[in-house]
């Protein structure tokens, strides 16, 4: 069977499912008695196995199958959740992730899984000497008096249903008939399972998982399903899946009672019949004929007939979104050009139309920005597992607290921010957090805390990585700086602390697998600067360290102040600007051979932008000082004149000019002039 059309869906779903497993396993390790989590892990592992088998990746399916063996031991209570077992399961997940990455990159090399399978087998074997590991609970189908097939339930299933009903959940027995024209029955079964498992849990299916995967069944699927949804909602979910022809939903509670020799009442038989829904027969009807018996749908509230709904969301390729963004950017440029022509030629008739165009492009721009936004959760969710592993490797007790993972950022920022955060968290775990003994001797909680906090502030997103560890030792950093030839005279404590971002700078005496080579922190600074952001270190001895990252929420279209430097027009992002003041000679003072201005009782360093950029300027004209704030630093930029505020589109400089550190890109103004956008962070 041709599975290529499902490949991208398989890869995305697999990565999502593996992430879910990582998170759920972490919780299970903390709460070994959490049956709901265990069932979720079992269900997701089962989904991965089904998808891998359907796509023909037998090695993946085999490994997940062995994982299921161990997980089923948990469910049956024959195996306890221990750190050792969870570590082996994490190794399985890492191997599965490697396999998925190889598939997506087209690498055909086989990954050896014998060791892991042996470990899984020995866990299952070693803990279970009384019964054979291969023993499976038999699932049977029997017929009752009226010939309808019923699923036979064992004691475990009955207990699960009873527990669910005690918690006010509904338990249903579902019969699904697929269209006889269905080509990919296993893929259709997978979609049915996936749709149902979003709202509840399937505790039994006939045919079983392997028959479904191998398409070894006719066109009928029977399920026992637990959910908080009502019967009509379940029918609605199933009828929304194409090639599902008929659905029958009835209360499994009767089935539980029947296991205990309870006869079905006449009333129930009526419901059972009324619940058989034929998709083709229900368009625009309030009554329908089922097996010769007319049933009024309005009268029987337990029945639900629903029209098919359109899909609520669409997957879109990222390069299409990028193209869309570029087209909107072009529109903004042309709009600005039209506004300029209108004002030059005094075309008042155009004004009203231009206002409408401006409003439409602004809304379009706003919309495309929102479409490109992703929550930070997609980056943050891999860190709890990493901190757990580091805690074991370093022999330190620590926990990670995450806040604000729903803060949204532009996709390009999301793609790049993962690596800097990884370095900061590893450093916090290795350098920041002390051993339990050391923490206890300082009167601290023996368990170290690392916090990852995100929130939006104006046009910026703030991400903080905080730890309550030993803090940055200024004297140690100073000694190291002098050793590598950095002069620290006249530097403030804050500047000295920020030296840790210099290339090759590490205060760790020993190089470990985790840190100490001095490559982490300069990568952090470089990456964040490339995104138009800043990073600052704030620290207090024995209280801890806090790294504050400030990032633009979006990278494509920004509000900017246009300034003149000599004859050149430049743009400065409004996000950095605090205020603009008139330049007067008497404002300028000198300290340590550097120019500063005294403003509002604070001393602000002055940067003459024309000197920095080597642009000739006329000294007689009136000048302005643009006071900019980058993180904790405030600096005055001296410019020749101000041209006003404008919305600009950031265009990358291209490979030839990539080395120019003073600019983040260029923009095209309404009159067609190409203008460079100053990188304020680099100037500061």
Rounded-to-integer distance, Cα 189 and Cα 176, Å: 10
Are 549 and 463 in contact by the 8 Å Cβ rule? The answer is yes
Torsion of CA 613, 616, 622, 624, to 10 degrees: 0
Are 72 and 46 in contact by the 8 Å Cβ rule? The answer is no
| Residue the block writes with tokens 């952001």 | 533
Helix (H, G, I), strand (E, B) or coil at 122: helix
Helix (H, G, I), strand (E, B) or coil at 424: helix
Torsion of CA 608, 611, 614, 615, to 10 degrees: 50
Are 602 and 636 in contact by the 8 Å Cβ rule? The answer is no
Rounded-to-integer distance, Cα 575 and Cα 571, Å: 12
Of 39, 40, 46, 466, which is the active-site residue?
46
Of 17, 427, 498, 610, which is the active-site residue?
427
| Residue the block writes with tokens 């299933």 | 157
The tokens describing 59, both together, are 């090695």
Are 131 and 69 in contact by the 8 Å Cβ rule? The answer is no
Q: How far is CA 32 from CA 82, 84, 384, 415, 614, in A?
A: 8, 13, 17, 34, 66
Q: Judging by DSSP bridges, how do beta strands 633-639 and 602-608 pair with one another?
A: parallel
Under DSSP, the state recorded for 509 is S
Are 635 and 628 in contact by the 8 Å Cβ rule? The answer is yes
For the four alpha carbons of 653, 656, 657 and 659, in that order, the dihedral sign comes to positive
Label residue 43 left, alpha or beta by phi (over 0 means left) and psi (-120 to 50 means alpha).
Answer: alpha
Annotated catalytic residue 427: yes
Rounded-to-integer distance, Cα 557 and Cα 665, Å: 12
The tokens describing 234, both together, are 């379940």
Helix (H, G, I), strand (E, B) or coil at 234: helix
The tokens describing 86, both together, are 């969870």
Are 256 and 163 in contact by the 8 Å Cβ rule? The answer is no
Distance of alpha carbon 496 from the chain centroid: 35
Rounded-to-integer distance, Cα 144 and Cα 201, Å: 25
The tokens describing 172, both together, are 């249903």
Rounded-to-integer distance, Cα 633 and Cα 520, Å: 23
The tokens describing 316, both together, are 């879109």
Rounded-to-integer distance, Cα 419 and Cα 684, Å: 24
Under DSSP, the state recorded for 489 is T
**Whose CA is closest to 639, among 580, 574, 558, 679?**
580
Q: Determine what percent of the chain falls in helix, strand and coil, rounding each to the nearest 5.
A: 45, 25, 30
Angle 479-481-487 (CA atoms, 0-180°, nearest 5)?
A: 110
Are 434 and 421 in contact by the 8 Å Cβ rule? The answer is no
Of 68, 173, 201, 213, which is the active-site residue?
68
Torsion of CA 27, 29, 33, 34, to 10 degrees: 20
Burial of 304: CB neighbours in 10 Å, binned 0-12, 13-18, 19+: buried
Rounded-to-integer distance, Cα 114 and Cα 111, Å: 9
- Which residues are known to be catalytic? 46, 68, 427
């Amino acid at each position: 069977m041709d599975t290529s059309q499902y490949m991208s869906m398989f890869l995305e779903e697999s990565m999502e499912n593996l992430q879910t497993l990582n998170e759920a396993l972490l919780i299970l390790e903390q709460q070994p008695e959490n049956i709901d989590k265990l069932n979720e892990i079992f269900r997701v592992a089962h989904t991965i196995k089904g998808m891998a088998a359907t796509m023909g990746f037998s090695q993946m399916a085999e490994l997940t199958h062995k994982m299921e063996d161990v997980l089923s031991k948990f469910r049956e209570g024959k195996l306890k959740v221990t750190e050792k077992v969870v570590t082996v399961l994490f190794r399985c997940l890492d191997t599965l992730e490697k396999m998925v990455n190889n598939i997506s990159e087209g690498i055909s090399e086989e990954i050896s899984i014998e060791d892991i399978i042996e470990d899984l087998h020995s866990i299952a074997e070693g803990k279970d000497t009384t019964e054979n590991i291969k023993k499976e609970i038999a699932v049977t189908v029997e017929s009752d008096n009226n010939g309808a097939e019923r699923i036979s339930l064992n004691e475990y299933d009955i207990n699960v249903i009873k527990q669910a009903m005690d918690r006010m959940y509904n338990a249903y027995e579902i019969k699904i008939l697929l269209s006889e024209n269905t080509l990919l029955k296993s893929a259709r079964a997978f979609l049915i399972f996936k749709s149902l498992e979003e709202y509840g849990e399937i505790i039994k299916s006939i045919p079983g998982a392997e028959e479904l995967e191998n398409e070894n069944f006719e066109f009928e699927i029977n399920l026992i399903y637990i959910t908080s949804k009502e019967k009509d909602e379940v029918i609605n979910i199933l009828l929304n899946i194409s090639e599902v022809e008929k659905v029958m939903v009835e209360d499994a509670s009767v089935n539980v009672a029947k296991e205990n020799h309870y006869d079905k009442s006449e009333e129930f038989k009526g419901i059972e019949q009324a619940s058989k829904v034929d998709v083709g027969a229900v368009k625009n009807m309030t009554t329908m004929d089922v097996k010769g018996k007319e049933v009024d749908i309005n009268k029987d509230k337990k029945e639900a007939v629903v029209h098919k709904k359109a899909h609520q969301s669409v997957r879109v390729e990222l390069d299409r979104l990028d193209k869309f963004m570029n087209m909107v950017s072009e529109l903004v440029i042309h709009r600005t050009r039209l506004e300029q022509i209108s004002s030059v030629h005094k075309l008042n008739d155009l004004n009203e139309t231009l206002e409408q165009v401006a409003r439409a492009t602004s809304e379009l721009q706003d919309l495309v920005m929102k479409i490109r936004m992703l929550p930070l959760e997609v980056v943050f969710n891999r860190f709890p597992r990493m901190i757990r592993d580091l805690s074991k490797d370093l022999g330190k007790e620590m926990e990670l607290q995450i806040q604000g993972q729903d803060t949204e950022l532009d996709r390009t920022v999301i793609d790049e921010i993962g690596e800097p955060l990884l370095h900061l968290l590893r450093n916090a775990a290795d350098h920041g957090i002390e051993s339990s003994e050391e923490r206890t001797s300082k009167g601290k909680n023996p368990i170290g805390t690392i916090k990852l906090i995100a929130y939006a502030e104006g046009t910026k997103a703030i991400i903080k990585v905080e730890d309550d560890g030993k803090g940055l030792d200024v004297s140690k950093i100073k000694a190291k700086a002098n050793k590598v030839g950095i002069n620290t005279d006249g530097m403030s404590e804050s500047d000295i602390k920020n030296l840790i971002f210099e290339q090759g700078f590490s205060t760790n005496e020993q190089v470990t697998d985790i840190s100490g080579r001095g490559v982490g922190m300069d990568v952090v600074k470089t990456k964040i600067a490339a995104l138009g952001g800043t990073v600052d270190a704030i620290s207090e001895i024995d209280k801890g360290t806090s790294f504050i990252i400030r990032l633009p929420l979006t990278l494509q279209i920004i509000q900017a102040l246009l300034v003149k430097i000599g004859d050149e027009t430049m743009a400065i992002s409004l996000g950095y600007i605090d205020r603009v003041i008139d330049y007067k000679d008497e404002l300028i003072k000198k300290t340590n051979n550097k120019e500063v201005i005294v403003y509002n009782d604070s001393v602000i360093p002055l940067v003459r932008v024309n000197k920095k950029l080597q642009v000739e300027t006329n000294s007689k004209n009136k000048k302005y000082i643009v006071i900019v704030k980058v993180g904790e630093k405030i600096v005055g930029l001296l410019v020749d004149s101000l041209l006003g505020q404008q919305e600009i589109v950031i265009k990358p400089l291209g490979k030839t000019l990539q080395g120019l550190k003073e600019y983040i890109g260029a923009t095209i103004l309404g009159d067609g002039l190409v203008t460079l956008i100053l990188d304020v962070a680099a100037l500061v």
